[in-house]
């Protein structure tokens, strides 16, 4: 399981725009780089990131081999209701990780 960091405001006013920041530790190996023995290291990247807010998808990113290791994503959404934000990273070799954070909207 990869380590992830998520920064979501604890509270927000209804209708305000909030900034969300995510970071996940992952090597993002492209499949083009030779290893110590000279053979190419197998590709191992995160291909998709999805954020859902109260069950509704609010952000999606497709990642490619040119993405850096430990991908950092920041985006905004509108605070509409108190609830849970669910973050899912998925990729090669069956990799999938889901984390969540809550926000209270007043």
Question: pLDDT tens digits for 21-33?
Answer: 999 999 999 999 9
pTM across the whole model: 0.93
CA distances from 86 to 32, 40, 54, 58 (A): 32, 35, 8, 10
- Answer for the pair 103, 79: CB distance below 8 angstroms, yes or no: yes
pLDDT at 1 over 90: no
- In angstroms, the CA 64 to CA 93 distance is 15
Q: Which residue has the tokens 């993405």?
A: 67
Q: What is the largest CA-CA distance in the chain?
A: 58
Over residues 52-96, the pLDDT tens digits come to 999 999 999 999 999 999 999 999 999 999 999 999 999 999 999
């Amino acid at each position: 399981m990869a380590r992830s960091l998520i920064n979501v405001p604890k509270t927000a006013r209804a209708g305000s725009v909030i900034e969300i920041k995510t970071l996940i530790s992952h090597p993002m190996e492209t499949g083009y780089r030779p290893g110590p023995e000279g053979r190419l290291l197998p590709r191992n990247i995160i291909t998709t990131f999805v954020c859902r807010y109260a069950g509704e998808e609010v952000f999606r990113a497709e990642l490619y081999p040119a993405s850096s290791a430990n991908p950092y994503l920041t985006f905004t959404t509108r605070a509409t209701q108190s609830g849970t934000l669910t973050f899912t990273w998925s990729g090669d070799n069956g990799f999938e990780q889901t984390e969540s954070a809550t926000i209270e909207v007043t």
